Amino acid sequence: MSDDKRFSLSDDSGFELMPSFEEDPNFSVSGDAVSSEPASVASDFNTDSSPAEDMFSFSDNWEIAATKRVDVNMLPEDEQLRVSRRDPSGQKSKRARKKRFPKWAKSLIWVGLMALVIILLSTTIITVAQDVYGLGKGTPGDPREIEIYVDKGDTLYDVIEALGEEDIIKSSLICKAYIKLKKPDTTIQYGLHVFKDTMGYEDIFAELRTQTEFKDVVNITIKEGLSIDEIALKLQEKGVCDASEFIYAIRNEEYESDLFASAPINQKIYYRLEGYIYPDTYQFYSNSTGKMVVQKMLDRMEEMFTLEMRQAAANMGWSWHDVLTLASIVEEEANGLSDAEKQKVAAVFINRLNWTTEPKFLGSDPTVVYSKTHGDATMFYNTYANGYEGLPPGPICSPTQSSIKAVLEYNRNFDYYYFYSSEGKIYYSKTYKEHQAIIKKYS
């Protein structure tokens, strides 16, 4: 045969030699199928073999044309493999179409996981080092100090838990593990001990081994409406600390407190922390330091001036300092009265602060008393007509939570501008003329 001819196989299976399509007019091509007339060719392919594709092309220019089915096992191995990877429609199987996860993505995930593990390990190592050796703990130049009274019957683990609550020890579990592994001298001397937030474990154990004096526990009540000077004298009378030491701590020490950080530094303010000492019953040890006493009182104010209250102040457009300032005036003007009455008093002062037709004088008698008591340094606290408009520079006493809430929740529908109190009752008026008539009637 000539080289330009292509033939089909012919063997016992019924396949016949076929001329190429170009020279046999009886062959036609339609799509992927190969057909031929006469029908004798097609009939020879009518076998009972297993299913296969309708057409297969060999690389040697041989073709098998079948109008029905062909036994795949009769094909060469490379053609069997090619056929097995196709479905009857001639498309790749689903398994063949499945995409593999890119190797670079897998590598990226492994790198990310390793980085996360390294970060976690580094954080743990730093935490342990800080706790064990005191590295980077607290503020070395100005450490925070706390007092813990170790009573008879208290165990070392009791002390560790107490130090953990005060954040002197970062992890009580790490500390306990350190004790079991290193077995340090953990002898405890009962009494009052002072700890700093810069201490490592050995420093803490050394403090616990130090002989200390037993101190009396002092209960003291700071009443609402007291000023810093009055509180200082009260503390000294009870043996908590010297009045001068308390005043020094008020004026000069730094404290860990959001409220303290918000307190403005202003030359017109007599005591920066006036009004920031919460009136309450406290328990101190005798002969405590002034700084520890102030810190404890600030912490209490921090608890009572809740996050919700601070948000309410922000919604009013007021600072915490402004709220405490007006609350201290309300405390003095409406001391002992109901919360509803305090809200009315607060409304009167806020209405005056919003005056557009009159000068914004609060006209509060307690501000005048505070100004006279503390001399010329407090002249800016006078809120009468011969004084200064608006709020005074700062609070004049320690307000209660109810007075603070009265400012934040003042009666917004109470459009009065004057009030006069007499024998535990307050009389309100809208005009100065009405106010003068009430004073004349009840004074």
For 94-119, write each residue's pLDDT tens digit: 555 556 768 888 888 888 899 899 89
Q: Are residues 426 and 335 in the same domain?
A: yes
Domain count, the chain: 4
Q: Which of 97, 122, 149 is the last residue of a domain?
A: 97
Q: What is the pLDDT of residue 46?
A: 44
Indicate whether 21 belongs to any domain: no
Residue partners of 67: CB distance under 8 A and separation at least 6: 33, 35, 42, 45, 54
Q: pLDDT per residue over 45-96, tens digit each?
A: 444 444 444 444 444 444 444 444 555 566 666 665 555 555 555 455 555 5
Q: Are residues 54 and 135 in the same domain?
A: no
Q: pLDDT per residue over 140-187, tens digit each?
A: 777 888 888 888 889 999 999 999 998 899 888 999 999 999 899 999
Q: Are residues 319 and 431 in the same domain?
A: yes
What is the residue range of 295's domain? 217-304
Q: Are residues 65 and 132 in the same domain?
A: no
Residue corresponding to tokens 């094909």: 75
Q: Are residues 138 and 78 in the same domain?
A: no
pLDDT at 4 over 80: no
Q: Are residues 380 and 433 in the same domain?
A: yes
Residue corresponding to tokens 């002390």: 159
Q: Are residues 258 and 145 in the same domain?
A: no
Q: What is the pLDDT of residue 312?
A: 95
Indicate whether 315 belongs to any domain: yes
Q: pLDDT per residue over 205-263, tens digit each?
A: 999 999 887 678 899 999 999 999 999 999 999 999 999 999 999 999 988 888 888 89
CATH number for the domain spanning 221: value is: 3.30.1490
Q: What is the pLDDT of residue 228?
A: 96
Mean pLDDT over the full length of the chain: 81
Q: Are residues 65 and 181 in the same domain?
A: no
Residue corresponding to tokens 């980077």: 136
CATH number for the domain spanning 153: value is: 3.30.1490.480
**101 to 97, 108, 113, 115: CA distances (angstroms):** 13, 12, 17, 21
Q: What is the pLDDT of residue 9?
A: 42
Q: What is the pLDDT of residue 77?
A: 66
Indicate whether 248 belongs to any domain: yes
The more confidently predicted of residues 71 and 334 is 334
Contact by Cβ (8 Å): 145, 196: yes
Q: Are residues 392 and 356 in the same domain?
A: yes
Q: pLDDT per residue over 382-431, tens digit each?
A: 998 777 889 999 999 999 999 999 999 999 999 999 999 888 889 999 99
Q: Are residues 323 and 418 in the same domain?
A: yes
Q: Are residues 437 and 335 in the same domain?
A: yes
The arithmetic mean of pLDDT across residues 14-40, rounded, is 43
Indicate whether 181 belongs to any domain: yes
The more confidently predicted of residues 32 and 380 is 380
Q: What is the pLDDT of residue 99?
A: 61
Q: Which of 304, 334, 350 is the last residue of a domain?
A: 304
> How much is the pTM?
0.63
SS3 assignment for 237-284: HCCCCCHHHHHHHHHHCCCCCHHHHHCCCCCCCCCCCCCCCCCCEEEE
Indicate whether 1 belongs to any domain: no
In angstroms, the CA 433 to CA 308 distance is 40
Q: What is the pLDDT of residue 211?
A: 84
Q: What is the pLDDT of residue 85?
A: 53
Indicate whether 75 belongs to any domain: yes
Q: What is the pLDDT of residue 62?
A: 41
Indicate whether 15 belongs to any domain: no
pLDDT at 322 over 90: yes
Q: pLDDT per residue over 254-308, tens digit each?
A: 888 888 888 998 888 999 999 999 999 999 988 888 999 999 999 999 999 889 9
Q: What is the pLDDT of residue 23?
A: 44
Indicate whether 203 belongs to any domain: yes
Q: Are residues 276 and 232 in the same domain?
A: yes
